[in-house]
Structure 1
Amino acid sequence: MVPGSNPWAYAYAGHQFGSFAGQLGDGRAISLGEVVNTRGRRWELQLKGAGMTPYSRFADGYAVLRSSIREFLCSEAMFHLGIPTTRALALIGSSRIVQREQDESGAIVCRLAPSWIRLGNFELFYATGDSENLQKLADYAITMHFPEIQPPDGSVDGPQTGKYTQLLERVVAKTAEMIAHWQAYGVMNTDNFSILGLTIDYGPFQFLDGYDPDYVCNKSDFTGMYAFSEQPEVGLRNMVKFATAISPLIIQECGGDREKASGELRPALNQYSSILSDRYGRLMAKKIGLATYKETDLQDVIYPLLTIIAKEAVDYTLFFRSLSQFSIASTDALYPTEACSRTGPTEPRLIIAQAKPSLGAALQPWLEIYRKRLLEDISGPDESCPLVTASREAERRKQMDSINPRYILRNHLAQTVIEAAEVGNYAEVNELLNVLSRPFEDGSIQEQERWGGAVPDWAAGVKCSCSS
């Protein structure tokens, strides 16, 4: 026990691959306590891999170095990308030998979050019929993490639904926001969700390499339930399970009127898809350099582009990073305002197009759509014939480079630093962490070549398991 700590572990239930598991729980994660920093932010500190907990079942509660490095690096990479996530405070190598598929070095990650409460904590109490602790947990979550929630006071401007319905609304909204970020950045991580909409746990996570909506990164997922394109639906299913878990509280708050409770549950759940679509659309609009967003952009511009890069199996991250080099104007001249010319080169100056010649031809029709949308974006309502200046082009490129990363944590990069760490060289872990902490900066030529390039042939299609 760490001096001064009062450790605890979480018990939770949940659905894995569609089947209900009545007792999951933190088998190798132990919370040490909470701290409040100088800005008043509350953090719950947790050790992962420190040994058995009451929920370890037949496992040893330890973690191996390779999975600990992946969690440490990816949680920090996600944070610096602006994706809602838990954080990693420290990674500590251990002299302990841990038996998995083979003998491996052990390690401990100290990770932190405002809370580690999951949807499954509520599902556990619902499944066991423990209404008293279900209500205590919900009240605790509201008090500590959603203090803005207030019961209806009868006023026109006040809350119109009960506090437990409001809790559902906020969890749904935060989850939709998180999934939108996953989809926009090509992140695969579908675990037992946090009630705070934070990416939690980094087992079989992955960033997409070649864009494939149906790609499955978890080698244990034989049915493709958690494929990249399935993540929005998985999020909705989890929200339905959470709504079911707290439904007794909502029914109670509605005076036992199930019909009234159902009338509150449906709108709360229905907002998931609209929030997800709106947030995803806005993120993708920024990725292609639009300062404004229209709902039609998804169908007219973004989805057609994704269809093309899926067919061409284009590297998702490299493509969007290089798209900023597309030029609206012909050569470096301005469009003459008198003629309002729309002519100009349509071949994108894309690094990725040079690597895949077929992409250039496939993109031609889309590029004209894209060009017109960019011109509309520049013109606004009062400028029918926009002047495409070098400064406007530079501004768009700067915006695109601020949301499309140069560096992400690819599987082969993680494997490279893991292999170095396993022989005692942690310098490469720190070097990669340094690059991932500034993902939108080009960095040096050496950094670009080592950490920002395409996936080598040997690493294509590498998949992970929950212990990876």
Structure 2
Amino acid sequence: MFDFDNTYAGLPKRFACIVRPARASNPQWIHFNSGLARELGLDVPALQSHEGLQVFSGNIVPDGACMLAQAYAGHQFGHFVPQLGDGRAVLLGEIIDRNGLRRDIQLKGSGMTPFSRRGDGLAPLGAVIREYIVSEAMFALGIPTTRSLAAVTTGEKVFREQPLAGAVLARVAASHIRVGTFEYFAARNDTEALRLLVDYTLKRHYPAEEFAGNAALALLDKTIERQARLLAQWMLVGFIHGVMNTDNMAISGETIDYGPCAFIDTYDPDAVFSSIDHSGRYAYCNQPTIAKWNLSVLAESLLPLIDAETKQAREKARAMLEAFDRRYAAHWSAGMQRKLGFGNVESGDDELGRAFLKNMHQQQLDYTNTFAALESSLDGASLFAASDSLWEAQWRARVARQPSGARAARQLMRAANPRVIPRNHQLERAIQSAYRGDYSVMERLITVLAQPYQLLAENDEYSRPPCETERVRQTFCGT
């Protein structure tokens, strides 16, 4: 069923605990991602069988599985917790996909582990559906992300504010190594484990590269670049992660742990949806700053490996961290130029982009739809009120100055501005329908979101912003 090639299990025992998933009394299919299964080189008919259902529910341990809960620490809303770990997830094992890439397969919501603390290790159906839909939507948008292979109900109740149907998500990731994984060993002054982890991570994520110099600095540099690019991509599509703790930042540069995540409807740079983010620490506009803060925590964890002299180690790490702002700005600028239809670069492009966002905010316009409508304004249609017509005149003049004019601008905008995103009210509708036993709303939403850049008449309802009664103001973790 799986051709596992497990390497994380070969690290010392203090890296993870061997666990056994909780038994599901009556597992039932929610959704199976056959396209991803084929990409992974898996046996699709076997996985869609009754035996496959038992594997994804945790009832059967497939041959070759390693069944690990990984150890890590983390800063949660700025406060350090020295031991977190996989409290509701179990790593089945690693496989090599059709492209030669190593991928983790993990069961999330599969019961208690030694890291569960006071938690039950379970996941309610709604949290599983949210992560399934949004992670696959992010993949379709071209943003690095974990993927969803399968989702099943367990037949068990999960108790939160009220009893809810339980479910398990089979998640696929380049790895589940986090900033918090390095924090875990740094907090224990376990330099040997840190060195092993650095070497393992570089070999896993950069197998074709040689790192002859300082391995810890090389890893920090690579992680800074991947996170700078990822954060720019989040900001450009209006995505809010919601809980950017250091244990939720993957070294791979993938978006991971979709808890109280959301996409902006009406543009507001201070938007917060997470029910547990009372101070707005992880508001939309704060995300790049928080990413840099998280990376500084990674750098702090790596100091013993960067240089034996702490002062020199800090200076080297600080110099590298200073590159984050520049790298993020470069990725954001390049993405905004495409969204505005600019195929070449002029000095005032960033100012035009920021002015566009300012107008959108002042007039309380829908973020996704306003960018999507920009193409139509090439024909003279006005996006903004008359008082803001100056921006549109400047923008049209800017488009006209580029070599291929409006034709090139249209192509760039169509490829950079999604028509559909997983809007909060649509996710909520899919979740509530699922709790009633109807997965058709989820299925339809997954199908639509698989082609986010296509302008299809039958998908018009999915591009519509919520009316006042549909508006979702808070999202929840599910823990």
The 5 A counterparts of 1:75-154 are 75-152=135-212
Are residues 1:415 and 2:474 paired? no
CA distance in 1, matches of 2:211, 2:107: 36
- Aligned residue for 1:448? 460
Does the CA contact (< 8 Å) of 1:150 and 1:163 recur in 2?
no
Unaligned runs of 5+ in 1: 153-160, 329-344, 354-358, 380-391
Q: 2:130 aligns with which of 70, 81, 85?
A: 70
Are residues 1:363 and 2:388 paired? yes
CA distance in 2, matches of 1:378, 1:139: 47
- 1:220-247 deviations in whole A, cap 9, x for unaligned? 1111111100001000100100000011
- 1:138-161 deviations in whole A, cap 9, x for unaligned? 111011112355344xxxxxxxx5
- Aligned residue for 2:364? 313
Are residues 1:213 and 2:269 paired? yes
Deviation at 1:259, TM superposition (A): 4.5
- Aligned residue for 1:175? 227
Does the CA contact (< 8 Å) of 1:77 and 1:408 recur in 2?
yes
- 1:142-196 deviations in whole A, cap 9, x for unaligned? 11112355344xxxxxxxx512111100001101111000111100013420001
CA distance in 2, matches of 1:207, 1:362: 28
- Aligned residue for 2:24? none
The 5 A counterparts of 1:36-435 are 36-152=96-212, 161-189=213-241, 190-191=244-245, 192-251=248-307, 256-299=308-351, 301-327=352-378, 347-348=381-382, 353=383, 359-378=384-403, 393-435=406-448
The verdict on how the C-alpha distance between 1:294 and 1:27 changes in structure 2, with shifts beyond 3 A counting, is farther
CA distance in 1, matches of 2:151, 2:359: 41
SS of the residue aligned with 1:30? strand
Does the CA contact (< 8 Å) of 1:75 and 1:85 recur in 2?
yes
Q: 1:2 aligns with which of 61, 68, 84?
A: 61
- 1:358-414 deviations in whole A, cap 9, x for unaligned? x332430111111121112237xxxxxxxxxxxx53442232122111110011101
Unaligned runs of 5+ in 2: 1-59
Q: How large is the RMSD of aligned CA atoms in angstroms?
A: 1.6
**237-246 or 125-134: which moved more?**
125-134
CA distance in 1, matches of 2:111, 2:472: 32
Deviation at 1:461, TM superposition (A): 4.7
CA distance in 1, matches of 2:358, 2:294: 28
- Aligned residue for 1:459? 470
Across the two proteins, how many residue pairs are aligned to each other? Answer: 415
Question: Quick one: which amino acid aligns to residue 277 of structure 1?
Answer: A
Deviation at 1:14, TM superposition (A): 1.2
- State percent identity of aligned pairs: 36
The verdict on how the C-alpha distance between 1:26 and 1:362 changes in structure 2, with shifts beyond 3 A counting, is farther
For normalisation by structure 1, the TM-score amounts to: 0.85
- Aligned residue for 2:39? none
Does the CA contact (< 8 Å) of 1:288 and 1:323 recur in 2?
yes
Does the CA contact (< 8 Å) of 1:407 and 1:440 recur in 2?
yes
The verdict on how the C-alpha distance between 1:233 and 1:263 changes in structure 2, with shifts beyond 3 A counting, is same
For normalisation by structure 2, the TM-score amounts to: 0.83
Does the CA contact (< 8 Å) of 1:87 and 1:112 recur in 2?
yes
When Rg is computed on C-alpha atoms for both structures, the one with the higher figure is 1
Does the CA contact (< 8 Å) of 1:12 and 1:123 recur in 2?
yes
**227-236 or 123-132: which moved more?**
123-132
- Aligned residue for 1:31? 91
